[in-house]
Structure 1
Amino acid sequence: MAALLIGSQAFSQEIEDKKGIVAKNAELVKVQDGFEFTEGPAVNRFGDIYFTDQPNNKIHKWNALSNEVSVFKEDAGRSNGMYFMLDGTLIACADNKNELWAIDTDGNHEVWITAFRSKKLNGPNDLWVKPRGGIYFTDPLYPRPYWEGRSEESEQEGQDVYFLSADKTELFKVADDLVKPNGIVGTPDGKHLYVADIGAKKTYKYDIREDGYLINKSLFCEMGSDGMTIDDRGNLYLTGDGVTVFNKKGEQIAHIPVPAKWTANVVFGALDRKTLFITAMDAVYTLQMKSRGVW
């Protein structure tokens, strides 16, 4: 691992911002580097961000007040995407054995999902927790060099999207016609779900039924994404080449360049949810915003 950056570093790259969602004179700030591949940022009720360094098998915590990064959990199951439940439980896509974990505030974990219909999942990648309970997660196939005792071929029929009911008694597919689903996020009212099909370079919007099933699939934009987030104006933030922002109509309204080959994920942090936190390759970044993230 490379040496960690001491202090923060600002970047004055030009940001395309048609609707004034970025704070005036804001610059992208590198908070810390020296990781191998950062992913999975999730915000808790205090605005702190937990994110993963998947190759190094760790979950780190960014303290919103001190701007400091510390290790939260070692042996993190090669966690990828993560999301906080309202009770403070951190749900993680544990890619080492293709499981879904629940992690408490002390870093202790419980395995919630190990398979679907007795067959190993491809590798849960990203997830979103429905406001009234229940978890949506994507399951693309990305063969990993650290997998032991399993084939690189899928045991499932496809690369799909799943829903785990709030009481954890039901697990079922809700989308099975995508090439490689990856990023996923829903609206705060729990009525709509966005799923990025990174394999098809498209992002779709669904209506969410009360029972968790998805209906009325529609094309949102002609762009895929790794991780995604949403703000209080309903704008959707997609990743890959920096961060690209679309309004509710699927029109591009902003692009935030990031000095990295790949931007993996993004979320709003800090107590006021106006700090955009970005995971990109070996580093994590922040950008001050006018728009606000949603809980």
Structure 2
Amino acid sequence: MKLLIPEGAELEKIASGFRFIEGPVWDDANKFLYFTDIPQNIVYRWSRPEGVSVFRTPSRHANGLTLDGQRRLLACEHGSRTVTRTEQDGTITELALQYDGKRLNSPNDIVVKSDGTLYFTDPPYGLKSVYGNQPEDKELSFQGVYRLDPETAELRLLIDDFDKPNGLAFSPDEQILYVDDSARDHVRAFDVTPTGGLINGRVFAELDPEAGKGVPDGMKVDAAGRLYVAGRGGIWIFSSSGQKIGIIKIPEITANLAWAEDYSHLYITASTSLYRIRLNTRGIPVKHIN
């Protein structure tokens, strides 16, 4: 851990007063960070010059966010139970609403491969009255991991044996997709086939359920292939072979993280506050952005 955290680097709280924030993603072109407050029904953005401002409200209780190749914002929405895209004119396009004629549970987190295809998880966390849904609204008998081709709109179910699939992240070469399971306190790794499928699923890393509050949630990788998992007690760091390196302790329940600015800064969404820490490594820029 001493090699990853520079001498004198400290965890900074840069904004607070939220209810439960999630989904950070850095827009390098405009130099701001998007993130969501799920119960407040808002997508925010933050920049050094302007601080926090509202980008979209209502957000339909958006959770995970990312950007596509045209820098359009993609969102997993609990309230609408869809994956959406915010167009350049501000209109909202629904990309994924149903699978096999049944409504999705509540899309949670999302990543984009460099070929433009979308991968997302669909646990039932959004089936709550606070989001305008009820548990009995669940139509699917499983919690899936999906692949969506934005050109053809084909939605493929890739994996259906998770309990609560949550965060996702590609390895630097996109040959592996990591998906964590919040209910099972572990991260699974899958080999990505040439056609975008997932094979050879295996448990890659396990989190100690006694380590603190929270669950395995959002994930990112750095340029060296290390995996960073928002989880119990803070940010867990694993080597590319799955060995635990250490934990960056965060004083609130930690939901997600994003590389930002020069990609040596890690921005962390944790319950009511947005945090930042500088590391001795670089994260992976969003490679699909031109």
TM, length-normalised to structure 1: 0.89
Cα distance in 1 for partners of 2:166, 2:133 equals 25
Cα distance change on mapping 1:141 and 1:67 into 2, 3 Å: same
Q: Identify the residue that residue 276 of structure 1 maps to in structure 2.
A: 266
Structure 1, unaligned stretches of length 5 or more? 1-16
CA RMSD in angstroms, aligned pairs only: 1.6
Matches within 5 A, 1:212-227: 212-223=196-207, 225-227=216-218
Matched, 1:58 2:42: yes
**Residue 152 of structure 1 aligns to a residue in which SS?**
helix
Contact 2:172 2:225 in 1 (8 A): no
Q: Identify the residue that residue 138 of structure 2 maps to in structure 1.
A: 154
* Matched residue count: 275
Cα distance in 2 for partners of 1:104, 1:289 equals 34
Q: Identify the residue that residue 69 of structure 1 maps to in structure 2.
A: 52
Q: Identify the residue that residue 131 of structure 1 maps to in structure 2.
A: 114
Q: Identify the residue that residue 253 of structure 1 maps to in structure 2.
A: 245
Contact 2:69 2:116 in 1 (8 A): no
Cα distance in 2 for partners of 1:235, 1:166 equals 29
- AA in 1 matched with 2:263: R
Report percent identity of matched pairs: 35
**Residue 41 of structure 1 aligns to a residue in which SS?**
strand
Cα distance change on mapping 1:106 and 1:58 into 2, 3 Å: farther
The alpha carbon displacement at 1:252 in A equals 1.1
Cα distance in 2 for partners of 1:216, 1:74 equals 41
The alpha carbon displacement at 1:189 in A equals 2.4
Cα distance in 2 for partners of 1:105, 1:273 equals 25
Cα distance in 1 for partners of 2:64, 2:227 equals 17
* Stretch deviating more after TM superposition (178-187 or 145-154): 145-154
* Stretch deviating more after TM superposition (138-147 or 90-99): 138-147
* Stretch deviating more after TM superposition (29-38 or 207-216): 207-216
Q: Identify the residue that residue 175 of structure 1 maps to in structure 2.
A: 159
- AA in 1 matched with 2:59: A
Cα distance change on mapping 1:154 and 1:137 into 2, 3 Å: same
Cα distance change on mapping 1:149 and 1:59 into 2, 3 Å: closer
The alpha carbon displacement at 1:233 in A equals 0.9
Matched, 1:34 2:24: no
Cα distance in 1 for partners of 2:59, 2:229 equals 25
- AA in 1 matched with 2:179: V
| 1:124-183 Cα deviation digits (max 9, x unpaired) | 000110111111100001222234465535211201101101414210111111111111
Contact 1:165 1:212 in 2 (8 A): no
Cα distance change on mapping 1:149 and 1:40 into 2, 3 Å: closer
The alpha carbon displacement at 1:105 in A equals 4.6
Cα distance in 2 for partners of 1:266, 1:171 equals 27
Cα distance change on mapping 1:166 and 1:207 into 2, 3 Å: farther
The alpha carbon displacement at 1:93 in A equals 0.1
| 1:266-289 Cα deviation digits (max 9, x unpaired) | 11111x111100000011000011
The alpha carbon displacement at 1:210 in A equals 2.0
Cα distance in 1 for partners of 2:133, 2:200 equals 40
- AA in 1 matched with 2:187: T
Q: Identify the residue that residue 76 of structure 2 maps to in structure 1.
A: 93
Cα distance change on mapping 1:151 and 1:181 into 2, 3 Å: closer
**Residue 96 of structure 1 aligns to a residue in which SS?**
coil
Q: Identify the residue that residue 288 of structure 2 maps to in structure 1.
A: none
Q: Identify the residue that residue 178 of structure 2 maps to in structure 1.
A: 194
Cα distance in 1 for partners of 2:172, 2:88 equals 24
| 1:53-77 Cα deviation digits (max 9, x unpaired) | 11111111111x4371211111111
Instruction: Find runs of 4+ consecutive structure 1 residues off by over 4 angstroms.
Output: none
Structure 2, unaligned stretches of length 5 or more? 208-214, 286-290
Q: Identify the residue that residue 281 of structure 2 maps to in structure 1.
A: 291
Q: Identify the residue that residue 265 of structure 1 maps to in structure 2.
A: 256
Choose which of 95, 113, 119 in structure 1 pairs with 2:96. Answer: 113
